[in-house]
Amino acid sequence: MGNENPQEGKAAGESSVALLSKKADPAEETSEFISLRPKSLKEYIGQAEVVEALSIAIEAALQRKEALDHILFHAPPGLGKTTLAHIIAEEMGVNMTVTSGPALEKGGDLLGILTHLEEGDILFIDEIHRLPRVVEEFLYPAMEDFAVDFIFDKGVHARSHRYRLARFVLVGATTRAGLLSAPLRERFGILRSLDFYSEEDLVLIAKRSAVLLNVEMNTDGAYEIARRSRGTPRIVNRLLKRVRDFAQVRGDGIIRKGTVCEALELEGVDEKGLTVLDRKFLKAIIDFYKGGPVGIEAIAATLQEESDTLVDVVEPYLLKIGFLTRTSSGRKISEETYRHFGLPIQQGLFR
Ligand code: ADE
């Protein structure tokens, strides 16, 4: 998990605000750390429409020798927003600076980053919906006019200075498109949502990663990992590493269906890919709220979890597989969920 965290892999002494990442670091490809991320759109599996739209935009910009339009990606965690940003930088042949909404507290934090960008460089802002309002307003002229006005001092001493910026490309990533203000959203030229991946695509991703990790896996094993990965490549790769450990220590090193089932039972991942937190979430609605409807804050209080985690991480997949519905009066679970848990369905609950 967390291999899309912009702060991950940060060298000592680097700013906590931004991580300057140049081209792929050869040290990343050692046996200790093998990047499972695709490095080009050709290698990228799934999200066919998004990949096609991006490849057209990249080719056109390269032909015209221009920078790309600003790009916004919207998707639940682990679906490839950061990976695509890295690929775009690679294919455009530019550098990318990575930061995130909560890391930027004031305009000055952004100023330092913006003034270091070169022509065509990418600024990647993860969790852009969590950008403080003052920083967001600072970003508007930067995105539109490639200039920022910075005000020094206060009151009668206030002085303003206009900084000209290189034509950079902002790539924003968000799990909550709805929380982005309209003025910010309107400044992006390319807006794309990534969907959960099909089982077939997850199988291909699992097989590709197994080759990179140099582990033998049969097709049934790949399908079992795919089925339990909540439609999410990052989870495929995480589970694959756990199953590889299990196969190595408890088996003959080869990943088969049985190995996956045994290894993932230990991880608390069930046949549908639901995790401990997914099950706690669904059980809380059943046990404390008779299946719903119930507000998200009440569920969060019951579980002592952040409601943001539930909304961003837990709910999207449960909604996708129909275990959960969201109504105007709150969250409700479905008949399917009761069946999954082998629970009796109360008369009149769903009719
Ligand atoms: N690894 C993680 N996501 C991937 C993707 N979409 N294609 C190929 N490999 C991946």
Render pLDDT for 176-225 as a digit per residue (tens, 0 to 9): 999 999 999 999 999 999 999 999 999 999 999 999 999 999 999 999 99
User: pLDDT tens digits for 42-96?
Assistant: 999 999 999 999 999 999 999 999 999 999 999 999 999 999 999 999 999 999 9
Count CA within 13 A, CB hemisphere, residue 266.
Answer: 12
User: Measured in angstroms, how far is the CA atom of residue 194 from the centroid of ligand 1?
Assistant: 13
Is residue 126 annotated as a catalytic residue, yes or no?
yes
The residue written with tokens 């790949």 in the block is 222
Closest C-alpha residue for ligand 1 atom 3: 233
Q: Dihedral through CA 178, CA 179, CA 183, CA 187, nearest 10?
A: -70
User: Measured in angstroms, how far is the CA atom of residue 171 from the centroid of ligand 1?
Assistant: 19
Is residue 327 annotated as a catalytic residue, yes or no?
no
Is residue 81 annotated as a catalytic residue, yes or no?
yes
User: Measured in angstroms, how far is the CA atom of residue 45 from the centroid of ligand 1?
Assistant: 6
* Catalytic residue selected from 109, 121, 126, 278: 126
User: Measured in angstroms, how far is the CA atom of residue 248 from the centroid of ligand 1?
Assistant: 24
Q: Residue 347: its pLDDT value, please?
A: 64
Q: What's the pLDDT band for 150 if we cut at 50, 70, 90?
A: confident
Q: Which amino acid is at 191?
A: L
Q: What's the pLDDT band for 345 if we cut at 50, 70, 90?
A: confident
Whether 53 contacts 151, CB under 8 Å: no
Candidate from 44, 52, 84 with most ligand 1 atoms within 8 A of CB, to mutate: 44
Is residue 234 annotated as a catalytic residue, yes or no?
yes
Q: Residue 88: its pLDDT value, please?
A: 98
Neighbours of 112 (CB within 10 A): 11
**If DSSP states are collapsed to H, E and C, what string results for the chain?**
CCCCCCCCCCCCCCCCCCEEECCCCHHHHCCCCCCCCCCCCCCCCCCHHHHHHHHHHHHHHHHHCCCCCCEEEECCCCCCHHHHHHHHHHHHCCCEEEEEHHHCCCHHHHHHHHCCCCCCCEEEEECHHHCCHHHHHHHHHHHHHCEEEEEECCHHHCEEEEEECCCCEEEEEECCHHHCCHHHHCCCCEEEECCCCCHHHHHHHHHHHHHHCCCCECHHHHHHHHHCCCCCHHHHHHHHHHHHHHHHHHCCCCECHHHHHHHHHHCCCCCCCCCHHHHHHHHHHHHHHCCCCECHHHHHHHHCCCHHHHHHHHHHHHHHCCCEEEECCEEEECHHHHHHCCCCCCCCCCC
User: In degrees rounded to 5, what are phi and psi of residue 320?
Assistant: -60, -40
Q: Residue 154: its pLDDT value, please?
A: 86
Residues with CB under 6 A from ligand 1: 36-38, 43-46, 80, 83, 205, 208, 233
- Comparing 30-39, 51-60, 142-151, 258-267, the range with the smallest average pLDDT is 30-39
* Catalytic residue selected from 192, 207, 228, 234: 234
pLDDT at residue 109 tops 50: yes
User: In degrees rounded to 5, what are phi and psi of residue 330?
Assistant: 135, -170
Radius of gyration of the chain (CA): 23
Whether 167 contacts 120, CB under 8 Å: yes
Q: In the structure encoding, which two tokens stand for residue 149, read together?
A: 């006005």
Q: Residue 26: its pLDDT value, please?
A: 44
Whether 295 contacts 288, CB under 8 Å: no
Closest C-alpha residue for ligand 1 atom 6: 45
Neighbours of 345 (CB within 10 A): 13
Count CA within 13 A, CB hemisphere, residue 137.
Answer: 5
Q: Which amino acid is at 193?
A: S
Q: Which residue has the higher pLDDT, 28 or 148?
A: 148
Q: Tell me the mean pLDDT in the region 278-288.
A: 98
Is residue 175 annotated as a catalytic residue, yes or no?
yes
Q: How far is CA 6 from the centre of its chain?
A: 11
User: Measured in angstroms, how far is the CA atom of residue 130 from the centroid of ligand 1?
Assistant: 26
Q: Tell me the mean pLDDT in the region 142-160.
A: 91
Strand partners, 303: none
* Catalytic residue selected from 82, 83, 97, 337: 82
Whether 27 contacts 35, CB under 8 Å: no
Q: Residue 351: its pLDDT value, please?
A: 60
Tell me what percent of the residues of the chain surpass a pLDDT of 90.
85
Closest C-alpha residue for ligand 1 atom 1: 37
User: Measured in angstroms, how far is the CA atom of residue 36 from the centroid of ligand 1?
Assistant: 7
pLDDT at residue 32 tops 80: no
Whether 80 contacts 88, CB under 8 Å: no
- Encode 293-303: b = buried (16+ Cβ within 10 Å), e = exposed: bbeeebbbebb
Count CA within 13 A, CB hemisphere, residue 219.
Answer: 1
Q: Residue 67: its pLDDT value, please?
A: 96
